[in-house]
Chains A and B, each alone.
Chain A
């Protein structure tokens, strides 16, 4: 078999046994997220709490993982959620090196089930699997754990570990590999409940590729002609010798843009002409894009880093002398948490060495601690909840006087790094009500501390989904209804970047519009804050965004870089190639795949998730019970009317039309938003239809 290994490794923590089984879902679900979701559906009873005995977690590699495809190093994880009202299917993703090592060990996925009676780590080397005593590393952070387990297993092993947050069953917890690549959604607590401290894995097998020369040729074509940087940004933020446009993009590198702390002295990232493969990795600098501030992030950059097999390198490797005394001087991260220093410090940020370096330095320190303690930020959910508590004096009201007095707020006011240690460690160890409640996630924090509905509805535009416990992720501010519709289908923040990658990519709006309209029809892509009423083309764009996101998470390619919708090349009219996934899949598997047949699998995965969600919510009407939107979406900018220039607000009646058209695209019942039997059967999901029917949830 090419590309797939055709095998799944099952780890039973109760019996401490490992079994190797056949993967019967290769073609139907591709791998990654599709495979992981399907296994959860097959094996975990509806309603199972993620920390119950019956709960499982699936860690899956994609079809293209290990084949050398660009950005194919991501790992998909499926589990049940604890941060939502009831346990629902959620996926979590991490980059780094885990998935390729699963693949090179001979597996498409790992299923973890059962519970060990004592702390355990699992060592995997190809077919050799052993359950080891983890009492020596229990309680340690993820970095120290990695160091120790690498010493035991070998320096080339990938360590995927939990920190104290996972051990203490904190809802907002992660599993993390390769320093900083984390999957969130409470995956740490699932490991913790199974007393699984880490999976430590190194594989020495091959991944068979049907047509290696074609695979290499397609890769070179992609790297020469199609790839830009993270978020599919395709023009630099600076004028180089070749670029027609200069945009506010993540393509921050260029002549004179230096990795300031490079080994051997400042390193000029230089010209990065499309076609020059050897300069691709010098282009991206996400943190500098966000921080600006006179290239402050470049100044602290040693080099860049990122996931296995990815040429983009979206993780800057940063160094701060000022953090040496805290042991956090070297860090690597992309965006969230690091961008939210002000939230955790309630605005108390001071300079460390250079003017204006406070937010970056402190932010990096917090991020380091979050990854080490294994706390999940929920794409800013925790940051926002915390800032809300500060602003509204919630801690003073809800904590006991003794606890409030015991918390060293003076450190926060002083902008002292030690504040972050206090805050993060309290959450990770559930210390006091402060620690226990903040780690529950926004929904449960809001419930326990009685937040008013304005928490969700506030015009800051944080929670697109009303009272769901997860934050917007490129919602209506990204192509209006399109981003909004993308945001309603998942059970956590929508991690879909397909649509977002078409925004702010450095090309003028007219070019972007031209390329997208060719795919989805006229009027699919409104200019930001110049929105128009809903139309079928927007529904198609939104649906494709999700479908392709699922395809990427199953292959598994990085949806922050893929699809290749645009190109940096003027000669191509800046048009990319959205059939490249299918071409690569054909080359590596030796089977004929088309854009349509790949997208069909991507759609199947959404249909499966949607039906699972209806079962989990026991809902006859997902439109009402799941897809609700917060008021700010329609009420922001009170002085402006929807669909006038200068506002991203939507219109309530138009949103109902949007849902109608969107559900129609998916083949979901218009009134309830639940897939019909015909739709489910089209995707070979008759078993889901039967189950919905038995539960009385299938639309008539």
Chain B
């Protein structure tokens, strides 16, 4: 990937963050972005949608479309860990599934409101800063925050530091897992509830 492209990405990313600065509802003003993300205005305003500006593109998680099949969790680990182990998935649905993201009104025992949790690929990642081994770094090629398995000692500092509870220590390997923005969960979500939209397309929609 060329330096030019990364630079473009950064510009787009900043522009995008400005639009969504006050949360997802900011999106509602941009018809072209809504179309690109496959969202309606009402969905964007409902609180069921999360939009993450990741290094690779925008990760859209739409709770209105998520039907709780948990296929994303198992697919994530089959691809990235070579085994089926939802517990260490980097996208997390089960914990919100029964009683909602806040554990109260939503979920299948409530109003059916629940949204998959995804890694935010934070601008200033708490996981990276917490790691005593320097195992988490920003991948040069695409800016994704990744874990160097050789350096990771499974201390769990990243998991504790992450404000969204995303990294999980795999008890079978004693290594941390976090999202590498591979997009596999999204590509295989049967309901189109997860989407990774490339920065190039976002740039076009904002032009």
Contacts and interface: CB of A to CB of B under 8 A. Distances in A.
Interface stretch (B4-12, B42-50, B136-144, B155-163): B42-50
A330 B112 contact: yes
A308 B68 CA distance: 8
Interface string A291-316: 00000000000111111111111000
Contacts of A450: none
A147 B99 contact: yes
B69 A313 contact: yes
Contacts of B85: 104, 204-207
Interface stretch (B13-21, B51-59, B75-83, B120-128): B75-83
A75 interface: no
Contacts of B109: 143, 146-147, 179
Contact of B44 (A205, A264, A282, A313): A264
A281 interface: yes
Interface in B89-106: 94-99, 103
Interface in A117-160: 143, 146-147, 150, 155-156
B65 A267 contact: yes
A313 B98 contact: no
A68 B71 contact: yes
Interface residues of B, number: 50
A313 B191 contact: yes
A206 B172 contact: yes
A263 interface: yes
Contacts of B64: 262-264, 267, 303
B87 A303 contact: no
Contacts of B68: 305-306
A155 B99 contact: yes
Contacts of A330: 110-112
A627 interface: no
A308 B70 contact: yes
Contacts of B189: 277-278, 281
A305 B84 contact: no
B185 to A, nearest CB: 11
Consensus secondary structure, chain B interface: loop
Interface residues of A, number: 53
Contacts of B98: 146, 150, 155-156, 178
A263 B48 contact: yes
Contacts of B42: 264-265
A104 B94 CA distance: 13
Nearest to A302: B112
A66 interface: yes
B98 to A, nearest CB: 6
Contacts of B66: 303
B47 to A, nearest CB: 8
B43 A306 contact: no
Contacts of B67: 281, 303-306, 313, 317
Contacts of A303: 64-67, 112
Contacts of B78: 68, 209, 212, 215-216
Given A264-B49, A309-B70, A277 B113 contact: no
Contacts of A302: 111-112
Interface string A324-353: 000000101000000000000000000000
Contact of B46 (A178, A263, A306): A263
Nearest to B94: A156
Nearest to A268: B40
A66 to B, nearest CB: 5
A67 interface: yes
Given A206-B85, A264-B45, A282-B192, A156 B95 contact: yes
Contacts of A394: none
B86 interface: yes
Nearest to A318: B112
A155 B103 contact: yes
A179 B99 contact: no
Instruction: Identify the interface centre among A206, A223, A265: most chain B CB within 10 Å of its CB.
Output: A206
Contact of A310 (B69, B81, B188): B69
A68 B76 CA distance: 10
B113 A209 contact: no
Contacts of A309: 69-71, 74
A304 B63 CA distance: 12
A100 B68 CA distance: 14
Contacts of B75: 68, 216
B132 interface: no
Interface string A197-235: 000000111111100100110001001000000000000
B190 interface: yes
Given A278-B192, A330-B112, A212 B79 contact: yes
A541 B98 CA distance: 41
Given A150-B98, A155-B99, A306-B69, A68 B187 contact: no
Instruction: Identify the interface centre among A209, A263, A281, A305: most chain B CB within 10 Å of its CB.
Output: A263
A207 B83 contact: yes
Contacts of A319: 111-112
A263 B79 contact: no
Contacts of B48: 263-264
A303 to B, nearest CB: 6
A280 interface: yes
Contacts of A310: 69
B81 to A, nearest CB: 8
A216 B167 CA distance: 24
Contacts of B94: 97, 156
Given A155-B95, A263-B46, A264-B42, A311 B190 contact: yes
A264 B190 contact: no
A212 B82 contact: yes
A411 interface: no
Contacts of A317: 67, 108, 112
A617 interface: no
B129 to A, nearest CB: 27
B108 A263 contact: no
A332 B97 CA distance: 14
A313 B112 contact: no
B190 A278 contact: yes
Contacts of A278: 187, 189-192
Nearest to A103: B84
A146 B99 CA distance: 10
A216 B70 contact: no
Instruction: Identify the interface centre among A66, A207, A215, A302: most chain B CB within 10 Å of its CB.
Output: A207
Instruction: Identify the interface centre among B49, B65, B75, B192: most chain A CB within 10 Å of its CB.
Output: B65
A489 B94 CA distance: 38
9 contacts: A155-B95, A156-B95, A205-B172, A263-B64, A278-B192, A280-B190, A302-B111, A313-B69, A317-B67
Given A104-B86, A305-B67, 18 more contacts: A68-B84, A156-B94, A205-B172, A206-B85, A209-B82, A262-B43, A262-B64, A263-B46, A263-B48, A277-B190, A279-B190, A282-B192, A305-B108, A306-B68, A307-B69, A311-B69, A313-B190, A330-B111
Interface of A: 66-68, 97, 100, 104, 143, 146-147, 150, 155-156, 178-179, 203-209, 212, 215-216, 220, 223, 262-265, 267, 277-282, 302-313, 317, 319, 330, 332
Q: When A and B form their complex, which 4 residue pairs have the shortest distance between CB atoms, in order from nearest?
A: A264-B46, A265-B42, A264-B43, A311-B190
